């Protein structure tokens, strides 16, 4: 369906219920991306530049436009630091109940917290609906402690340690709790450890600065030259030097895990660092070694006590144990994880597998089956594997009862959903997605019901906004509409091309769904384009390989050209990896060189592909492989109408056989 016809259908159906929307919407329908939409698009560009003057000049032009709330938000958000409170209240009243109202209140609460304007903060915070900004939450906790002395230390620590970047809100709340004696210095050092371990020195510096400027200056020194710093520490250690030594060892582990292991094994650190400090560092060393697929990883982890390891260390210890076939270590590492992580389907599955491998009683086997039954479904990778462990195959979920006219109409008339789709369709995808997600997440604070989510997904599906169709449908809890979750746009083109070159159409669909969610003009941060997210150099190379003459870079977003090049490249990597779908998917995402090394060297064990996939060092590629194979299995069930096996598609993965030639050594 073309853009103009979509917007025309919106106008004809009266989709946008805002009374002021109709004239602009009708014009948009007849002249897409022009007229009234031009002013909105220009306002968004001006907001990115924080061009206050231009925003003010354009604002009158968007009055009555379907996306007027966005224009008003950009104008006011750009000058939030100087806007009077009366203007804020006028905005909140005019756009009450909208995403833009809550978004601006979020921004204002951050500013009020930074200014320590607690009287205004107190008046606005109860009206804030999103509650998904940790910095705002930390300001609220800081203020609550000031006002009532409530015990908020645990909540502050949880929010602060979870923050990925340095921020004012949680750092200020942590400093308050530290000075009050409610938060211990150890929490500060934990924050600093996580900062250095994830190579975010600003996080570590901000944390350590709470304990004194001289310590943050020392942190700069040890970050740049950890080995030199450690060599200088030959006398007895006292706080805070021992904590700084721990940070230096973490930094060294990040750069050179083998060198860090050699350093930590020295007698002086065994006697001067606590078991908790040594265990954490061994956890970092083990994690880095595991990410490099080193056989030493499990030995490094073995130097630590599980009870002192972070959940991320325990996840990598489990992966290393799986790779080594050490099922007792798998079981023990998972048992030591925090409750929330332990309940993730990934670790439930591997815990059940470990129980099965180690079981010597009927009770243990029953426990393993109980764990598998708790996650078994068609929803995802490990859920599907659990089904197969229980002797079942993957089938299409029973289709829910059809949506009623009333359910569809409620979605069609939902203002937030309409604004979200309208924004997406005129090119404001990021803004439209945020408003759509807000509308589906925040329905009477409890989120939409399954039926409401299916109706919202149907609304997006009918307008071929496939990413919102899929993502919304995926959020249902009890009901599953497989056709919504796994749509097949461009079916004739995909099936024809896949059949021509000997690819399974389900595999192609599984990959496209993960790559672009069927967004034709999708573009990644690294420059990949189109349905199959092809990089320009890869497109040029593949075009020559498949005989696509006169290929020009601008053709990459053409649907059929993108499918031809994407499937052509997928077929080349699949052949290069002897038909292994997991290896080919990894190669498509991370380039073929990496999975060639990840499969191991001569003499390394042959692994279940699920174990191999779980050990992929890159988080993005690890998730990608699992999702593409899970998608493929669901698509195959839909296409064939027959039960399917994910395990059969995964197979086994080991080193390339000696003497086996690479079909395409120059694969980019």
Asked whether residue 352 is assigned to any structural domain, the reply reads no
How many structural domains compose the chain?
2
Give yes or no: residues 478 and 508 share one domain: no
pLDDT attached to residue 605:
87
Higher-pLDDT residue of 38 and 214 is 38
Q: Same domain for 648 and 504? A: yes
Q: Is the pLDDT of residue 433 over 60?
A: yes
pLDDT of residue 662: 59
Q: How confident is the model at residue 5 (pLDDT cuts 50, 70, 90)?
A: very low
Q: Inform me whether the pLDDT recorded for 447 exceeds 60.
A: yes
Q: What is the pLDDT of residues 461-502, one digit of tens each?
A: 999 999 999 999 999 999 999 999 999 999 999 999 999 999
pLDDT, average across residues 135-143: 98
User: Over the stretch 504-538, which tens digit does the pLDDT of each residue have?
Assistant: 999 999 999 999 999 988 887 778 889 999 999 99
In a domain, 450, yes or no: yes
Q: Are residues 418 and 547 in the same domain?
A: no
Of 332-336, 425-429, 442-446, 650-654, the one with minimum mean pLDDT is: 442-446
Which of 348-357, 484-493, 649-658 is least confident? 649-658
- 476: containing domain: 405-485
pLDDT greater than 50 at residue 556? yes
Q: For residue range 236-256, what is the model confidence (pLDDT) as tens digits?
A: 677 788 999 999 999 999 999
Q: pLDDT band at residue 234, thresholds of 50, 70 and 90?
A: low
| Residue 608 three-state SS | strand
| Average pLDDT score over residue span 566-584 | 97
User: 573 and 434 in one domain?
Assistant: no
Together in a domain, 499 and 641: yes
What confidence score (pLDDT) does residue 23 get?
A: 30
The three-state secondary structure class of 607 is: strand
Q: Which of 418, 453, 485 is the last residue of a domain?
A: 485
Asked if the model's pLDDT at residue 9 lies above 80, the reply is: no
Same domain, 443 and 544: no
- Of the listed ranges 167-176, 231-240, 288-297, the least confidently predicted one is 231-240
Of 456, 485, 514, which one is at a domain's C-terminal end? 485
Interhelix angle 185-197/241-255, nearest 10 degrees:
20
Q: Burial of 441 by CB count in 10 Å (0-12 exposed, 13-18 middle, 19+ buried)?
A: middle
**Band of residue 34 on the pLDDT scale cut at 50, 70, 90:** low
Is residue 515 annotated as part of the catalytic site, yes or no?
yes
More confident residue, 392 or 658: 392
Average pLDDT over residues 374-400: 97
Q: What is the mean pLDDT of the chain?
A: 91
Residue 351 lies in a domain: no
Q: Are residues 426 and 466 in the same domain?
A: yes
641 Cα distance to chain centroid: 31
pLDDT band, residue 661 (cuts 50/70/90)? low
Instruction: Specify if 581 maps to a domain.
Output: yes
Say yes or no: 461 and 533 in one domain. Answer: no
458 lies in a domain?
yes
List pLDDT tens digits, range 41-97: 999 999 999 999 999 999 999 999 999 999 999 999 999 999 999 999 999 999 999
Rounded-to-integer distance, Cα 567 and Cα 572, Å: 9
Helix (H, G, I), strand (E, B) or coil at 17: coil
Judgement on whether residues 600 and 614 belong to the same structural domain of the protein: yes
Residue 46 forms part of a structural domain: no
**Is 361 a domain residue?**
no
Question: 499 with 637, same domain?
Answer: yes
Domain boundary among 485, 505, 536: 485
Q: 568 and 427 in one domain?
A: no
pLDDT digits (tens, 9 = 90+) for 146-202: 999 999 999 999 999 999 999 999 999 999 999 999 999 999 999 999 999 999 999
pLDDT at residue number 70: 98
Among 295, 268, 264, residue whose Cα is nearest residue 282: 264
Instruction: Output the domain CATH number for residue 622.
Output: 1.10.530.10
User: Facing residues of 644 across strands?
Assistant: 394
Minimal CA–CA distance to 537: which of 551, 549, 550, 525?
A: 551
Nearest to 139 by CA among 174, 163, 165: 174
Domain assignment of residue 622, yes or no: yes
DSSP 8-state symbol, 664: T
The pLDDT, as a whole number, for residue 29 is 39
Q: Percent of the chain at pLDDT above 90?
A: 83
Residues 6+ apart with CB under 8 A from 161: 187, 190, 191, 194
Q: What is the DSSP string of 640-656?
A: H-S-B-HHHHH-EE-PP
Tell me: do 536 and 467 sit in the same domain.
Answer: no
Q: How confident is the model at residue 444 (pLDDT cuts 50, 70, 90)?
A: very low
Residue 2 scores a pLDDT above 70? no
Catalytic option among 68, 435, 515, 614 = 515
Burial class (CB in 10 A: 0-12, 13-18, 19+), 80: middle
**Higher pLDDT, residue 296 or 659:** 296
């Amino acid at each position: 369906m073309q853009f103009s016809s979509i917007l025309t259908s919106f106008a004809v159906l009266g989709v946008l219920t805002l009374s002021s929307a109709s004239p602009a919407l009708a014009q948009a329908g007849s002249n897409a991306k022009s007229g009234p939409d031009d002013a909105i698009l220009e306002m968004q560009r001006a907001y990115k530049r924080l061009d206050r003057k231009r925003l003010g000049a354009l604002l009158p032009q968007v009055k009555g436009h379907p996306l007027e709330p966005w224009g008003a938000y950009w104008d006011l958000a750009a000058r939030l630091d100087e806007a009077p409170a009366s203007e804020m209240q006028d905005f909140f009243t005019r756009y009450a109940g909208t995403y833009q109202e809550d978004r601006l209140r979020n921004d204002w609460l951050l500013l009020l917290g930074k200014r320590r304007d607690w009287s205004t903060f107190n008046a606005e915070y109860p009206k804030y609906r999103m509650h998904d900004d940790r910095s705002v939450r930390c300001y609220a906790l800081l203020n609550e402690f000031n006002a009532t002395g409530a015990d908020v230390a645990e909540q502050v620590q949880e929010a602060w340690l979870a923050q990925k970047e340095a921020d004012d809100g949680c750092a200020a709340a942590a400093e308050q709790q530290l000075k009050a004696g409610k938060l211990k210095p150890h929490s500060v050092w934990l924050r600093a450890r996580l900062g250095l371990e994830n190579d975010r020195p600003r996080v570590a510096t901000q944390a350590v600065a709470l304990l004194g400027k001289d310590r943050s200056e020392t942190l700069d020194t040890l970050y740049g030259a950890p080995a030199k710093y450690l060599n200088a520490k030959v006398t007895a250690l006292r706080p805070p030097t021992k904590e700084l030594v721990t940070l230096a060892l973490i930094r060294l582990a990040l750069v050179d895990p083998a060198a860090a292991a050699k350093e930590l094994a020295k007698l002086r650190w065994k006697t001067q660092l606590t078991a908790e400090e040594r265990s954490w560092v061994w956890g970092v060393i083990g994690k880095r070694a595991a990410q490099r697929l080193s056989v030493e990883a499990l030995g490094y982890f073995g130097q630590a006590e599980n009870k002192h390891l972070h959940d991320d260390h325990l996840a990598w210890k489990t992966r290393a144990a799986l790779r080594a076939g050490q099922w007792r270590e798998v079981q023990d590492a998972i048992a030591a994880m925090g409750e929330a992580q332990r309940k993730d389907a990934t670790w439930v599955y591997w815990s059940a597998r470990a129980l099965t491998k180690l079981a010597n009683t009927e009770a243990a086997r029953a426990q393993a089956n109980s764990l598998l039954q708790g996650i078994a479904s068609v929803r995802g990778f490990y859920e599907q594997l659990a089904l197969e462990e229980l002797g079942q195959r993957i089938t299409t979920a029973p289709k829910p009862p059809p949506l009623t006219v009333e359910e569809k109409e409620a979605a069609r008339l939902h203002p937030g959903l309409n604004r979200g789709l309208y924004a997406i369709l005129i090119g404001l995808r990021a803004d439209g997605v945020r408003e759509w997600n807000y509308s589906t997440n925040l329905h009477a604070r409890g989120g939409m019901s399954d039926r409401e989510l299916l109706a919202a997904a149907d609304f997006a599906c009918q307008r071929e906004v496939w990413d919102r169709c899929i993502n919304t449908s995926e959020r249902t809890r009890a009901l599953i509409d497989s056709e919504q979750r796994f749509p097949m746009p461009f079916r004739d083109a995909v099936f024809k091309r896949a059949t021509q070159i000997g690819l399974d159409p389900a595999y192609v669909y599984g990959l496209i769904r993960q790559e672009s969610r069927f967004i034709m003009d999708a573009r990644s941060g690294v420059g990949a384009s189109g349905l199959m997210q092809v990089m320009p150099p890869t497109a040029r190379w593949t075009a020559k390989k498949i005989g696509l003459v006169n290929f020009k870079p601008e053709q990459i977003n053409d649907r059929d050209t993108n499918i031809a090049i994407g499937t052509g490249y997928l077929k080349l990597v699949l052949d290069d990896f002897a038909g292994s779908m997991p290896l080919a998917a990894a190669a498509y995402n991370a380039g073929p060189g990496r999975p060639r090394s990840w499969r191991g060297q001569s003499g390394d064990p042959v692994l279940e592909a699920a174990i191999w996939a779980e050990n992929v060092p890159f988080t993005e590629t690890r998730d990608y492989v699992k999702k593409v194979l899970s998608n493929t299995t669901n698509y195959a069930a839909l296409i064939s109408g027959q039960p399917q096996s994910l395990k059969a598609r995964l197979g086994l993965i080991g080193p390339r056989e000696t003497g086996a030639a690479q079909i395409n050594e120059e694969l980019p």
